[in-house]
Amino acid sequence: MNVRESDGSFEYIDHKTKISLQYPSNWSPDTSYLPSIRYAGKNGFFQLDAGGTGSISIDEFASLNAYHKLNPYGTNPEILNVEIDNQDARLIKPSDDQPEEMQNQTCLIVKYPKPIKIGDTIYNFFILYTDTKNIEAISETIHFIM
């Protein structure tokens, strides 16, 4: 993991999840979510993860996340097809009845150019959790460092 300043924001480079992205410079590490990588500030947050093992498709994986039994994105989330750094991706946008404790969280799932290995597990997808206000700005800066 590296953090460096770039044009008034910070660039976060994570060798574990094989990505770089930019986030507001007034955000700092949020250690209450360890071992997850999470940065937060008064105006939002981001959290990184990897997921999807075996032969699961990106649509199946997005659907499992969007329609989880705990309804983290409300009862009627929207799944949009997008492209991030020339890779197939799905954006999960919450419905109006999303639980308040989710802090307007959205989820971006991006297919890795090639699966990555973390520990003993091989993952097919990069996952970014962030708030709805910052998802567009952050997602535009995502690049794979493979």
Q: Is the pLDDT of residue 4 over 60?
A: no
Residue 80's pLDDT is what?
Answer: 97
**CA 132 to each of CA 11, 12, 135, 143: distance values in angstroms, whole numbers, following the listed order:** 20, 19, 5, 20
Domain boundaries, the chain: 2-144
* Residue 138 and residue 110 in contact, taking contact as beta carbons nearer than 8 Å: no
Share of the chain above pLDDT 70, in %: 95
Q: What is the pTM of this model?
A: 0.92
Question: For the domain with range 2-144, which CATH number is right: 3.40.1000, 3.30.70, 1.10.287, 3.90.550?
Answer: 3.40.1000
**What's the DSSP call for residue 141?**
T
Residue among 57, 38, 11, 21 nearest 103 (CA): 38
pLDDT in tens, 18-48: 999 999 999 999 988 777 889 999 999 999 9
Reported confidence tier of residue 146, pLDDT bands at 50, 70, 90: confident
